[in-house]
Chains A and B, each alone.
Chain A
Amino acid sequence: MAKQQPIELFMPPNILKAKMGGGIGGLDMAAVKRAEQAIETLKTEFTDWIAADVTKLSACRDAYAATPGKETCGDLYRASHDLRGQALTFEFPLVARVAAILCKLLDSEKVNPPLALIDAHVNAIRVIVKQNIKDKADKTAAVLIKELDVRVDEVLAKPA
């Protein structure tokens, strides 16, 4: 017979609500507008930011190439994961897509994923940023991304 698990359920005091004052429901659209304007101003820095992230990715790739292993692979995964999450914000949706496929490869149980396939991703990201391709419907990039996805799936489908 399964035993009843003791459970304590309680509501902490809502100090935050008292501190912040009473909201009257809905989003503060004035605050949204202010923040969106602030982001617009920040956009001038986005190209430099993504360039820095790509430089970091390249450095992690080089470290992995020099010393393939769990640690360098983990660093490379973190760099690609950053790009996956941020590139869309920085208005490079195709970089986010390629980085997501690279994450899929690096996040697998495969030991030492093939460098050539990693390079294909890193180079694709470099080219997209260098050529400032921000249109997610770019046909050449779409073909390349589909090919990368297929290649990664092939690697992942192979027995370890």
Chain B
Amino acid sequence: MSGYRFDRLKVLVVDDNQHMRKLVVTILQAFGTIQIFEAESAELAWSLLHDVNPDVIVLDWMLTGMTGLEFTNMVRTNAGCPNPFVPIIMLTGYTQIDHVRQARDAGVTEFLAKPVSVKGILTRLTAVIEHPRPFVRTKVYYGPCRRRRDKEEYRGPERRTAPQDNAQHSMAAAG
């Protein structure tokens, strides 16, 4: 038993497919979440973001109009966003590593490939509650830190702060 008060969680589910929204909402309700808001487009989600200020956003990539990636970028960088740190769990049919990288680079917090599973959603929710990622601001990126491995895995010089001989390396790994 994790002991989380899911009844206190406010979630915004953004997906243009009503069946997928219903599936995610059903799972969240079974966890005990009461405050669930739905949006069928990123434009509506942006409006709801201001009205309800969700704790977590569950977001589809492929939306009609603004895509999930564009929405994520807007949440992270638009000065009008009420909470640029809000965790975003991207739920998508894309599974290739290139898509995972694109989502990461846009500022997505967690990536969850379809098909939807109960454990998949709970694992990602637990991750954003227990292990929020630090944020990074560079000239080209603002969002959750894109490094996912433990520090212990890398034993070289500190790439973000190393002097000029490591600068190129630093830029490649920025964020």
The verdict on A28 contacting B4 (CB below 8 Å), with A5-B170, A86-B17 known, is: yes
Q: Is B55 an interface residue (CB 8 A)?
A: yes
Size class of the contact patch on chain A? 35 or more
CB contacts (< 8 Å) of A25 on chain B: these are 2
The complex places the Cα of A78 from the Cα of B81 at a distance, in Å, of: 28
Is the beta-carbon distance between B135 and A11 smaller than 8 angstroms?
yes
CB contacts (< 8 Å) of A11 on chain B: these are 132, 134-135
Cβ-neighbour of B2 out of A3, A23, A37 (below 8 A): A23
The verdict on A9 contacting B160 (CB below 8 Å), with A20-B6, A23-B2, A86-B19 known, is: yes
Q: Which of A1-51 contact B (CB under 8 A)?
A: 1-12, 14-17, 19-32, 34-39, 42, 49
For B114, give the chain A residue with the smallest CB separation. Answer: A85
The verdict on A5 contacting B93 (CB below 8 Å), with A14-B132, A82-B17 known, is: no
Cβ-neighbour of A21 out of B3, B87, B175 (below 8 A): B3
The verdict on A23 contacting B134 (CB below 8 Å), with A35-B30, A82-B17 known, is: no
Size class of the contact patch on chain B? 35 or more
Is the beta-carbon distance between B64 and A78 smaller than 8 angstroms?
yes
Is the beta-carbon distance between A5 and B129 smaller than 8 angstroms?
no
The complex places the Cα of A29 from the Cα of B1 at a distance, in Å, of: 6
Q: Is A112 an interface residue (CB 8 A)?
A: no
For A19, give the chain B residue with the smallest CB separation. Answer: B8
For A84, give the chain B residue with the smallest CB separation. Answer: B93
Cβ-neighbour of A35 out of B9, B27, B134 (below 8 A): B27
CB contacts (< 8 Å) of A12 on chain B: these are 85, 132, 134-135
The verdict on A31 contacting B128 (CB below 8 Å), with A10-B134, A81-B62, A82-B17 known, is: no
Which of A17, A21, A28, A52 gathers most chain B CB within 10 Å?
A28
Q: Please encode chain B, from 130 to 148, with 1 for each CB lying within 8 Å of some chain A CB and 0 for all others.
A: 1010111111000001000
Q: Is B77 an interface residue (CB 8 A)?
A: no
The verdict on A2 contacting B122 (CB below 8 Å), with A14-B132, A34-B31, A85-B115 known, is: no
Q: Is A53 an interface residue (CB 8 A)?
A: yes
The verdict on A88 contacting B115 (CB below 8 Å), with A1-B164, A53-B19 known, is: yes
Cβ-neighbour of B23 out of A14, A81, A89 (below 8 A): A89
CB contacts (< 8 Å) of A22 on chain B: these are 3
Is the beta-carbon distance between A81 and B64 smaller than 8 angstroms?
no
Q: Is B66 an interface residue (CB 8 A)?
A: no
11 CB contacts below 8 A, A to B, read: A2-B164, A5-B174, A9-B137, A11-B134, A11-B135, A16-B56, A20-B129, A27-B119, A27-B123, A28-B3, A30-B1
Residues of chain A touching chain B, judged by Cβ–Cβ distance below 8 Å, are 1-12, 14-17, 19-32, 34-39, 42, 49, 52-53, 78, 81-82, 84-86, 88-89, 96
